[in-house]
Structure 1
Amino acid sequence: MSGPVPRAFVSRFHSKSKDSSEALATAAKLPEAEPVPPVTPRQRITVQDILDRRTKAGRLVAPTAAACDADMFKAPSVGKPKAKIWDHNHLSAEAIVREPCKLKAAARFLKTPGIISLGGGLPCPEYFPFSSISMKVPTPSDFHESAPTETVTINKYDASLGNTDAEYDLSIGLNYAQAHGSAQMMRFVTEHTELVHSPPYADWKTCLTVGSTGALEQTLRMLCDRDRNDAILTEEFSFSTALETAGPLGMKVVGIKMDEQGLLPESMDEILSSWNPAERGGSRKPHVLYTVPSGQNPTGATQSEQRRREVYAVAQKHDVFIVEDEPYYFLQMQDSGKPAPRNVDEFLDRLVPSLLSMDVDGRVLRMDSFSKCVVPGSRLGWITASAQVVERYIRHAEVANQGPSGFSQVILHKLLDETWGHEGYLKWLMNLSMEYTQRRDTLLAACEKFLPKEVASWSSPKAGMFFWVNLNHELHPHASTKGILDVEEEIFNSCIKRGALVARGSWFRAEQDKPPTGLFFRATFAAATPENMTEAIRRFGEAIKESYGL
């Protein structure tokens, strides 16, 4: 960013915050990030590259509880630097002392030819009461719900008896496994990460998770210590469940000011540069940033490529580790009037580059999930980070959840890998982004029609599924006697009585102990029908007008 942030941007989030706007206007010049060459279509790993690599490697043989590693599935990292080592200043005491699970480690001996195992507690698959699972799924050519489907079946012994070309079956998927997840799904997410992000350092790895909420809890415990009075940085309005995760772990949450592109790097730099533990309740200078760069929950803000590079530069300057939570990354939407991407390469080229794709230090732990892109009930996702960080994460997973559900892994593998393949999955994501673009536009049209513009303002989200409305509290007829939270509660209850539910902005404040800086509501365009969305916004508008006497 060059120059001060436009006041109009700040005012959408700070209707009367004079101190914040003055601080931003006088912020020092941001540091420059280490140069990272952009990934051009010619440099990017392609789907064909992965298919060629698989052909050369041959059939994946990964039986029950097979140990694996992301390096088995990556392209050679020629000329790339190694990640920084994250010392005791970053890792918590809990993370440092964790030892490998002995029983999990013993599974590596199962691949010894001729071995008869009496060592592990793996149940006999003969006693699994599932001989097959069949499901109807759409084809990559047409994802409409009423379009023709194909039936795919997973049998108990497809892979383990070697009678078919299958690499995964129920006898493997439904048994105990390694905490990093199955080799079959590890291969898929590693290749997918390489296709989309191509991390610019050599020793990055992946690990399957039980979804990003569980991954965040493990990550915060791995990086932060109650005994060190650790604090974490995040957007001033942040995912409420993330805040509820950090609080009981004893971490103070510090909110960074925002504009239409999300967190302001100047604000982050100012907070860190002026940090005084005595003024912050004894909390030491934060060394962890939790951020949702695309379609941020709750504001819907999306950081541009330049904004992400500036955030990364501030993290380098202050040695901050970044937790990049990106459940909405592929729900980036099309600009009005711009034609849909013609193919998956064009779709990938249009995505804003991730923080992971800029990470020359290995200071980013990226959390991905199938929840928003396939099904939330799968509780399946993955992290990408440096080898050191992923190894520590796996040590925790071994004694916490032992890895994600076998049902989820074997079903998603059948769909994403065996049936769709990487190109089919990217086509699904491309279609999903277009569907959410239409939903967003429906909600925008309803807001234009029904919300009173004299007191309400909003901007069009560029990604995700959330819509952030700012109401000018100063224009409320009872502003002198009714505080922001009182007016918020009045409008919220009025909406409920009218049969519409919108989320209160105060639920998402990072620093709940500070007075609110504005009056906000969050709406989602994820699930309701276009007709119901429009009607809900009409009812929301009526509640606002009643409260404001319009």
Structure 2
Amino acid sequence: MAPPAAIEVNAVTDTTAITLPDPLKAPIPKSNDIYGRRRKADKSQWGTAAPADSANFRQGNYDDKPMARRWDHYLSNEARTRKGNNLKKAARFLGTPGLISLGGGLPSSEYFPFEELSIKVPTIGHFSEAETRESGVVITAGKNDLANDKSIFDIATAFNYGQGCGAAQLLRWITEHTELVHRPPYQDWRCTMSIGSTSGLDMAFRMLSRPGDMVLSEDYTFAAAVETALPMGLRLAGVPMDEQGLLPEAMDHILSTWDVSARGARKPHLLYTVPTGQNPTGATQSAERRREIYKVCQKHDIYIIEDEPYYFLQMAPYTSSSEPDPPQPSSHAEFLASLVPSFLSLDTDGRVMRLDSFSKVISPGSRIGWITASQQIVACYQKHADLSTQNPSGMSQLIVWKLLDEHWGHAGYLDWLIFIRKEYTRRRNVILGACEKYLPREVVSWKPPMAGMFHWMQIDYTKHPDYRTKTVEEIEESIFMRCIEEGALVMRGSWFYADPDEEHSTMFFRATYAAAEGHKIEEGVRRVGRAVRREFGLEE
């Protein structure tokens, strides 16, 4: 069957966009209709360091939606006192016809030692490495394509200074994508670019907390989140989990019984969560679980930081490694409908900052991500970015924009997401089949992940020969080193404690099926199984 894009796409170029009388009164279009519904923009919108507001790129009508709550009571002193970059404010005048700029320190693109940039990329529906090698197409960006009316983004613009929100060209695409997938249910939502979700989290912590605060998260969480928080004087308070991730009743109990003197911190007002394919556990919150968590956050006035790098890697339930690939969606609408609703799509209060990134689905080295939040929070974020990271690399933005906007479009990108989901599902099935084959079930157990890149294995350390004489940490270290001796690397679960000072009565190891090829995944698991058997004195 033809890929969805081949069924649905009607090519409409940016320069021939259909002008509707009032685009905001139209419903959210299908993926192949978005380009035709774009508002016409003055050429100055695409110029060097041109300011951009993502509200200008939305296509739906939000007049009947509520306004976001204000979060002044949670903003840090740093966030409240940042005034932004005055020099960048002057950039809005650069597009004035006939203006001669003797103001900003923008280097002349005449002296950029780049005349042309060409990259070879997959055609829609032919995404594999082998197919790209054979049938991929070369797309090219010239230095002065904007001035010569060949494109709205070029080297002269992208390789110069930019705004903290990122280039308007890519910000438009990101806003359209966010609207297509999530359609936040309040009026004043905005998008702005980040240089990846770790940087986005760093800024969120700086904006919304103060030294001494505690932040709620899953009991086992993204190690970099803990390491980002600690130097700021923040600690993470772990919430118990099950196979669906964070338990809302446990979070409610923690907040309802919070003892400031015992905890040494005021009651938390932030939740950091990875709802889909959680790192490290692989857990995915169901739609009902997310609604319950959101209600608890409303009850206790908690602001949610939704970190979602694996959102599009949601998979069908695992049955057997020998089962054929599950049927692929017949349309983009079916694909999007199959995804668990995001916190952003449930957020009627504007209490969610969603962190998105191209790292897991395009390339980590692009260092391009974005946040979606209320206008108030996005404005604070942009002021912070303008005086720290500035914008993502212009070189990266140009490359990603050429691929996503000019080449694939929204339809092609959804096809790509369907493709990589299928590829990671196959790898997940390989690692689960290998675990069934090689791991001793009397001491190792697991739940099949429903999304993401990680497989979480529980070890019954009470069956270890040295259980009575060694600590849990010593047994964990011994198992870890035994795996290294056998030639396999898996990550120790203790490295992911939200609060290392809390007692933990369980032992886990994390494996990933993202990095290695199928036969290496199987061999790696075989080596882990041999290491565990040797460590526990079990027969081969």
Query: Common fold, TM-score beyond 0.5?
Result: yes
Which of 332-341 and 469-478 deviates more? 332-341
Equivalences for 1:134-533 in 2 at 5 Å?
134-147=118-131, 148-159=135-146, 161-164=147-150, 166-226=151-211, 229-281=212-264, 283-336=265-318, 338-533=326-521
Q: Which sections of structure 2, spanning at least 5 residues, go unmatched? A: 1-25
| Letter in structure 2 aligned against 1:243 | V
User: What is the CA distance between 1:56 and its match in structure 2?
Assistant: 5.5
User: What is the CA distance between 1:111 and its match in structure 2?
Assistant: 2.0
| Letter in structure 2 aligned against 1:157 | N
The DSSP-based 3-state class of the residue aligned with 2:360 is coil
| Letter in structure 1 aligned against 2:30 | T
CA distance in 2: counterparts of 1:103 and 1:391, whole angstroms: 17
CA distance in 2: counterparts of 1:44 and 1:100, whole angstroms: 33
Q: Relative to 1, partners in 2 of residues 1:431 and 1:266: Cα closer, same or farther, differing over 3 Å?
A: same
User: What is the CA distance between 1:527 and its match in structure 2?
Assistant: 1.4
1:47 lines up with 2:50 in the alignment: no
CA distance in 2: counterparts of 1:87 and 1:61, whole angstroms: 31
Q: Which sections of structure 1, spanning at least 5 residues, go unmatched? A: 1-41
Residues 44 and 50 of structure 2 are in contact (CA less than 8 Å); yes or no, is this contact kept in structure 1? no
CA distance in 1: counterparts of 2:397 and 2:417, whole angstroms: 19
User: What is the CA distance between 1:516 and its match in structure 2?
Assistant: 2.4
C-alpha RMSD over aligned residues: 1.4
| Letter in structure 1 aligned against 2:232 | L
List per-residue Cα deviations over 1:416-443 (Å, max 9, x = no partner).
Answer: 1000000000100010100000000000
User: What is the CA distance between 1:213 and its match in structure 2?
Assistant: 0.7
Equivalences for 1:105-144 in 2 at 5 Å?
105-144=89-128
User: What is the CA distance between 1:58 and its match in structure 2?
Assistant: 8.0
Identity among equivalent pairs (%) = 53
| Number of residues of Structure 1 aligned to a counterpart in Structure 2 | 503
Residues 234 and 290 of structure 1 are in contact (CA less than 8 Å); yes or no, is this contact kept in structure 2? yes
Residues 378 and 408 of structure 1 are in contact (CA less than 8 Å); yes or no, is this contact kept in structure 2? yes
TM, length-normalised to structure 2: 0.91
The DSSP-based 3-state class of the residue aligned with 1:332 is coil
CA distance in 2: counterparts of 1:60 and 1:454, whole angstroms: 67
CA distance in 1: counterparts of 2:44 and 2:345, whole angstroms: 28
Q: Relative to 1, partners in 2 of residues 1:340 and 1:59: Cα closer, same or farther, differing over 3 Å?
A: farther
Residues 31 and 332 of structure 2 are in contact (CA less than 8 Å); yes or no, is this contact kept in structure 1? no
CA distance in 2: counterparts of 1:145 and 1:379, whole angstroms: 22
1:64 lines up with 2:48 in the alignment: yes
List per-residue Cα deviations over 1:272-328 (Å, max 9, x = no partner).
Answer: 0000110002x0000000000000000000000000001100000000000000000
The DSSP-based 3-state class of the residue aligned with 2:397 is helix
The DSSP-based 3-state class of the residue aligned with 1:520 is strand
User: What is the CA distance between 1:60 and its match in structure 2?
Assistant: 8.1
CA distance in 1: counterparts of 2:262 and 2:149, whole angstroms: 68
The DSSP-based 3-state class of the residue aligned with 2:335 is helix
Residues 39 and 57 of structure 2 are in contact (CA less than 8 Å); yes or no, is this contact kept in structure 1? no
The DSSP-based 3-state class of the residue aligned with 1:322 is strand
2:5 aligns with: none
Which of 139-148 and 198-207 deviates more? 139-148
User: What is the CA distance between 1:467 and its match in structure 2?
Assistant: 0.4
The DSSP-based 3-state class of the residue aligned with 1:233 is strand
CA distance in 2: counterparts of 1:507 and 1:469, whole angstroms: 14
Residues 45 and 194 of structure 1 are in contact (CA less than 8 Å); yes or no, is this contact kept in structure 2? no
The DSSP-based 3-state class of the residue aligned with 1:469 is strand
CA distance in 2: counterparts of 1:502 and 1:43, whole angstroms: 47
The DSSP-based 3-state class of the residue aligned with 2:71 is coil
Residues 45 and 52 of structure 2 are in contact (CA less than 8 Å); yes or no, is this contact kept in structure 1? no
CA distance in 1: counterparts of 2:376 and 2:102, whole angstroms: 32
The list of structure 1 runs, each at least 4 consecutive aligned residues, that deviate by more than 6 angstroms after superposition, is none
CA distance in 2: counterparts of 1:178 and 1:363, whole angstroms: 25
CA distance in 1: counterparts of 2:107 and 2:116, whole angstroms: 18
TM, length-normalised to structure 1: 0.90
2:3 aligns with: none
User: What is the CA distance between 1:542 and its match in structure 2?
Assistant: 1.1
The DSSP-based 3-state class of the residue aligned with 1:151 is strand
Which of residues 514, 529, 545 is equivalent to 2:533? 545
Residues 279 and 454 of structure 2 are in contact (CA less than 8 Å); yes or no, is this contact kept in structure 1? yes
